[in-house]
Structure formats: structure tokens, C-alpha cells
Amino acid sequence: MSDSNASTVDLDALASLAKRRGFIFQSSEIYGGIASTWDYGPLGAELKRNIKDAWWRKFVWERDDMVGLDSSILMNPEVWRASGHVDSFTDPLVDCRECRQRWREDHLEERNCPDCGGALTEARNFNLMFKTFIGPVEDDTSVAFLRPETAQGIFVNFENVLNSSRKRLPFGIAQIGKAFRNEITTGGFIFRTREFEIMEIEYFVEPGTDEEIHEQWIQDCLAWYTDLGVSKKRLRVRPHDADELSHYAKATYDIEYLFPWGWGEIQGIANRTDFDLKAHSERSGHGLTYFDQPSNSRFTPYVVEPSAGVDRAAMTFLVDAYTEEEAPTASGGTQKRVVMKLHPAIAPVKVAILPLSRNERLVPLAREVYDKVRSSGAVDGFVQYDDAQSIGRRYRRQDEIGTPLCITVDFESLDDNAVTIRDRDTMEQARIPIALLDAELGKRLRV
């Protein structure tokens, strides 16, 4: 949606707006915070919910080959032994011998400490899974892991879902949920954190059809971002080099976005082959296979896995939408306007109702319009009533938080039963009869 040069967006300005307007707060801020951990405020909660809803709508509800799942974060630790995470879900950790800072070796360009230039230790493998204990005794038999991906919850439920939903291949299981990784280094605001949310699909296919279906998923996933307004020129698809591939993958493509610091992964689309279903079959002794009636044969399906970070999607939408532009003023001059050009499906507030003033003659009609818009089927989301400060300041506030439409109720409204609709991006205003508001909002919000 935004044509602005997103790579020049100042992250500090974005983080400050995010805090001031209630998108994102530092976690436990009153205690000094906790490293790279963030809370989503009232607008951030709406933004995240809209992202997840838009994803679920496109990839589950609008397709006939998908079903959903909501599996638990804690699982039998055997799951993580079978999946290879206990042995292989590691990053190479190095320590600075001088200042003791810790780094991920594969993120370093040189063999010295980026902070003090000191010599580094040899790399050792650091497992990223968070460990905890189940029950009152903390010993080896009570160890459990916080899931580092939601995928394993899907694999171990393969048979349950197959039997209960009676899906035939190819079909997919989608899941959105929290994941935890004890990352060695974090940063880039909400880009790399230790607690985050993922939107994952395990798409089960007949072996041999996997490569073509993998290609189709890459295109479908890319289209999800561009359909929601993310600038095409700031997106790219990058194949993993052989030495980057996860222990389970035959091929992986990352969708990357051009962030202020450079290209960053926002989604991975992997061909996981039959690695996981076979690994769980072997370890659990419970065969996770598929019987194909037409060919009268039983086999282990291959899996194509699109896996997208919710927080990275939020970061992408915010960076891409953040725009500073010169806007005309009433007196004929111009002034700087900060506007978050979010797609209406993602915008945290869909419509703001702004009475021209708190005059007692205006308020009842403004509240009536507010009630009407909130209960309108045309507005699928949060509607705000905003009567604080001058109308100009209120428009600026709504522009900054990305509200696509503002409705102003003024003294003329009392006579003509009409209101003014202001479009966020063009700033054009149109007079619309209140009786026709539903249809007008529906038309404008479903772009």
C-alpha cells in the first residue's frame, strides 16, 4: 500500500509511536523490562488479532482442503527427541574472552567480538529449547520443553485429525500459537524475541507431488502479504543454501522483507518430506501413515510447511505502512503528516466517530451513529468514539494509528441527517446520509 521507502523508516520513531499510541509496550516496564520481550497494547492486540484472522480466513476458511488445530504448548518430551530438536535444534554460540558478551557465530561477519574486538572462544552448540519441570520435583524425569514450533503438535495429531475430519490427500492442518526459543541474540524491536507467535500449516501430500505443491505454496504465501498491501518491491523469496537447511528439510524458501537494517525472514516454506511422520512412527511405535483408496496402497505422506511469524508480520505491516508526508493545511500551507497506511483488514481501528465538539446537542446523534456503526455488519472490527481535543488533532491521531475512515458528526448533521466521511489516505471528505452509512462503509472497507 505504501510507496514510501520503508528501508528509511526510523525504528526508534516507529517504536516511540507504537508505545505512545498503545501498539507495543516493553514487557514488565515498571521493573526495568526484560530483554527483547514485548507486550501488545490495546491497538497492538487488535492489529495482531486482525493479522491472525486474515491469515485464518485465507488459508483455512476460504479453502476446502484445510482444517484447524489448537494443540498444547507442553508435550511429552519424547516428541522433541523424535523430532530431532533435542539433538539438533541448536545455534553455534561463541563467547568474547574479553567482555564475556555472547554471540551467534553464524551472525558474525568477523572472528572478533563486534562490541570490544576481543578474541572469541570456539563455537559450541547451544540448544534453543526452554526447559521446565512438570510437577513439584525438579529432576531428569520431570523435564519438559516449551515448544519451539507448533508443527509437532500437528504431526502427533495427524491420525486424530485424519480420522475425525475424514480429509483425503492433499490436505493441510493449520495452527496459530505461541512458540519459545532461547535465542542467543535478539533484537530489531519485535523481530527476534524469545517468545513469539507462529501461524503454521503442515500440508500433507503424496510423495512425488511435493515439489510442485511447494512452489504453489510459496506463491500463495507471497500473495497473502501483497493482497494485504505490503509493497511488492520490498518482498523477495530466497532459497536456503544447503548448509542453512534445518535437519528436517529437503528444500526451504524464505519470504524476506526489506527492513530498515536490510532483508529479514518473515516466513519460511519448507519441504519437510516424510521426516517427521516417520520419526514419530518409529519412536512411538504408532504408524502414522495414510491409506490411499484409489491406488489401494499405504504410504507416509510428504509435508510442505508454510510457517509465518505473527510478530514479524506485525513488524512488516507497521514498517511498510509507516509514512511521513507533506499534507496541505486549511490556511494553504503544508505540514508534516505521519500516517500509517495499513490495509483496512489489518487496521486496529476500522472507523472512528468524531463529534465536532462535546456540545450537548451533538452528543446524542454522535452516540447514535457510533452504536449504528458498531453493530453494522459492514464493519468487521473495532470502532472508536473520539471526542478529545480539536478535530484536526483527532484526525492526526487517527492517521497515526492507521484508521481508514473517520466519521464526523457536525451541527449540519442535526438538520440533514448526514455525516462527513474522511478517507485516511486521500484526506477527501464526502457527505453521506446516515441511512446509507452501512452500504458506504461496506464498500469502502472491503477494498
Site residues for ligand GAP per CB under 6 A:
149, 151, 181, 183, 192-193, 196, 198, 200, 265-268, 305, 307-309, 311-312
State in angstroms the smallest separation of the CB of 58 from ligand GAP: 17
Comparing CB distances to ligand GAP, the nearer of 181 and 234 is 181
C-alpha cell at 438: 452501512
Query: Would you tell me the crossing angle of helices 310-321 and 42-56 to the nearest 10 degrees?
Result: 110
State in angstroms the smallest separation of the CB of 190 from ligand GAP: 7
Nearest-angstrom CA–CA distance, 32 and 116: 25
State in angstroms the smallest separation of the CB of 181 from ligand GAP: 5
Comparing CB distances to ligand GAP, the nearer of 197 and 410 is 197
State in angstroms the smallest separation of the CB of 246 from ligand GAP: 7
Residue 203: CB partners within 8 Å, gap ≥ 6? 170, 171, 172, 213, 217, 303, 304, 305, 306
- Cα diameter, the chain: 78
CA atoms within 13 A on the CB side of 104: 14
CA atoms within 13 A on the CB side of 31: 5
State in angstroms the smallest separation of the CB of 122 from ligand GAP: 24
CB 177 within 8 A of CB 73: yes
State in angstroms the smallest separation of the CB of 262 from ligand GAP: 16
State in angstroms the smallest separation of the CB of 103 from ligand GAP: 16
Give 72: exposed, middle or buried? Use CB within 10 Å, 0-12, 13-18, 19+. Answer: exposed
Closest residue to ligand GAP in the complex (CB):
309
State in angstroms the smallest separation of the CB of 99 from ligand GAP: 24
Comparing CB distances to ligand GAP, the nearer of 101 and 246 is 246
Comparing CB distances to ligand GAP, the nearer of 128 and 327 is 128
Comparing CB distances to ligand GAP, the nearer of 46 and 254 is 254
* 297-299 and 290-292 strand pairing: antiparallel
Neighbouring CB atoms inside 10 A of 26's CB total 16
Query: Would you tell me the crossing angle of helices 310-321 and 11-20 to the nearest 10 degrees?
Result: 100
Strand ranges (E), 341-398: 349-355, 382-385
Residue 364, H or E segment? helix 362-374
Residue 298 pairs with which residues in a beta bridge?
Answer: 291
